Structures are given as C-alpha cells and as structure tokens.
C-alpha cells in the first residue's frame, strides 16, 4: 500500500484514503492484540516495556492514517538530513552564532525547495528581487511550494 502511494504521486486526500481502507483495520487488530498481551507480560520486562511503548504512543504511531500528508515512516526526512550530517564538520566554522543561524535558515529554505521540486537558485533570485514590494499579509505565497504552483498556473 505504501509503495503504491509513493509511486502513484497521489494527492493528500487520496493518500489518506489508502491507509484508512487498508491499514486502519490491521492497526486496530494490532492494538487489540497488544492490549491482550499487556496483561500477560510483566510491566518491567523488555517485552512488557515494548508493548507499553507501542500502546502509549499508539496515537503518534497511527496518525499517518488520518493525514494524507504523512507517511508511515520518516525515510524521506532522514534522507534529507544526510547533507546536514555530511556538512556538519564544515559548519563548525560559520564564523559566529549569527552566521550559524543565518546558515540554518538558508539551509532550511534550500531543503524546502528540494521538497517542492523547485530550483533553489531560481527561487531565491525571484523572491529576493520582489519581496520588498510584496504584501506581508500574503508572504506565504512566496514559500517554495506555493511559489512553484503559482509558476505552473
């Protein structure tokens, strides 16, 4: 189901319906099994702790079923952090705390551009050239994902 959702490039509402129809019943069955198992295990045993963890975090672990913008895993996020891990040594020498904060903000924009499949250079060039005249009430129009959709329409 997850592979189908990723490969089909579905809209969030369509992505939400897939796990609701396929995964929700399985997750409900798993929760019932864990509830039954909890009374059979010692709470401080490794298995007891694992079952308690799963039940205590059940809402967070199953939230993706209700929100089509979420995936069952965080692989995409971990892949996006690889560049940060690789550059960590270089960033020890950003010059100052202020320079580090600026670098973090710029890196955040570049990562957001990558998620929105936007060329960061084109986005920065366009947004920085017109942000001075842009209405503060409509500033979210300049975010990479909105900027990209305004370019295609």
Domain that holds residue 86: 78-152
Per the structure, the count of domains in the chain is 2
Same domain, 143 and 95: yes
Q: Do 11 and 58 have their domain in common?
A: yes
Mean per-residue pLDDT over the chain, rounded: 86
46 and 101 assigned to the same domain: no
- Classify residue 73: in a domain, yes or no: no
Identify whether residues 87 and 147 lie together within a single domain: yes
Residue 20 has pLDDT above 70, yes or no: yes
Indicate whether 40 and 92 sit together in one domain.
no
Cβ proximity of 120 and 114 under 8 Å: yes
CB atoms within 10 A of CB 126: 15
Report pLDDT digits (tens) over 117-138. Answer: 999 999 999 999 999 999 999 9
State whether 55 and 117 are in the same domain. no
Q: Is residue 104 included in any domain, yes or no?
A: yes
Residue 72 lies in a domain: no
Q: How far, in Å, CA of 21 to CA of 29, rounded?
A: 14
Answer whether residue 138 is part of any domain: yes
Residue 48 lies in a domain: yes
pLDDT at 153: 61
The more confidently predicted of residues 103 and 40 is 40
Give domain status of residue 71, yes or no: no
Q: Do 139 and 90 fall into the same domain?
A: yes
pLDDT 10s digits, 33-48: 999 999 999 999 999 9
| CA distances from residue 39 to 30, 43, 73 in whole angstroms, order as listed | 15, 9, 29
Residue 118 counted as domain residue? yes
């Amino acid at each position: 189901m997850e592979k189908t959702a990723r490969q089909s490039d579905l809209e969030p509402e369509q992505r939400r319906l897939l796990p609701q129809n396929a995964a929700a019943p399985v997750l409900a069955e798993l929760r019932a099994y864990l509830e039954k198992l909890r009374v059979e295990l010692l709470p401080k045993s490794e298995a007891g702790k694992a079952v308690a963890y799963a039940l205590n975090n059940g809402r967070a672990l199953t939230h993706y079923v209700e929100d089509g913008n979420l995936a069952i895993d965080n692989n995409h996020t971990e892949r996006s952090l690889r560049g940060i891990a690789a550059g960590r040594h270089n960033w020890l020498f950003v010059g100052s705390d202020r320079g580090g904060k600026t670098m973090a903000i710029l890196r955040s924009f570049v990562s957001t551009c990558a998620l929105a499949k936007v060329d960061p250079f084109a986005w920065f060039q366009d947004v920085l050239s017109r942000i001075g005249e842009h209405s503060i009430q409509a500033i979210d129009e300049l975010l990479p994902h909105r900027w990209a959709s305004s370019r295609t329409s």
